[in-house]
A and B are shown apart, each in its own frame.
Chain A
């Protein structure tokens, strides 16, 4: 799968833009003070991303999307652990919401979308029967080809 690489500056600007939109939403639904806090956090995050991706450490390379194969393995392991922690946290939050008789439809949406996405990803990235069949056909075809290339005994000059 090809990965689109974005420049550090562009991603920082995107983080800043998304955070500013969120700050706007906070200003509409909450108070200006909350909106200002959100904006400050956004600026800090965008600046931290820009500074972090300048370093040639594992974290810097991964965040800058220039990771090599070992760093990609580190990324997958980190994502896997974060996923497990997130699921556990979501379960506890849903449990609290249900026990407190609060709305928990968000947990339903997140759980359903996450579960179906996982199944879809397994189907998309997993090996399929057609691939296995074509692989074994390829092996058999290769064996036949090898047999055809085997030099008959009478041509060896014995």
Chain B
């Protein structure tokens, strides 16, 4: 069976850098742990839909500009 792995790229690190925020600042602003921010930025964790919207709202960026779900890898 062909399985497709979706990789959701995001611009969290770039947006955070533009605003001069630390990972701890962003984590506090979003109400998540710093480890979760690290995992999202490194692409190891794709946030849930509510958290994705929260991130987009936090940076006042449209959610589809913050996350790019078009990357897909067939394994």
Contacts and interface: CB of A to CB of B under 8 A. Distances in A.
Contact of A58 (B31, B35, B47, B51): B35
Interface stretch (A12-20, A27-35, A64-72, A108-116): A64-72
A73 B32 CA distance: 13
Contact of B39 (A56, A67, A70): A70
Nearest to A70: B36
Contacts, number: 27
Majority SS of interface residues in chain A?
helix
Interface string B31-56: 11111100100000101100100000
Contact of A71 (B33, B47, B48, B51): B33
Interface residues of B, number: 11
A59 B45 CA distance: 17
B35 A69 contact: no
A73 B51 CA distance: 14
B13 to A, nearest CB: 16
Interface string B8-35: 0000000000000000000000011111
Contact of B31 (A56, A57, A68, A71): A68
9 contacts: A58-B33, A58-B35, A61-B33, A68-B31, A69-B32, A69-B36, A70-B32, A70-B33, A71-B33
Interface of B: 31-36, 39, 45, 47-48, 51
Interface of A: 56-58, 61, 67-71, 73
The 7 closest A-B pairs by CB, nearest first: A68-B32, A70-B36, A70-B45, A68-B36, A68-B33, A69-B48, A61-B33
Given A70-B33, A71-B36, 13 more contacts: A58-B35, A61-B33, A67-B33, A68-B36, A69-B32, A69-B51, A70-B32, A70-B35, A70-B36, A70-B39, A70-B47, A71-B33, A73-B45
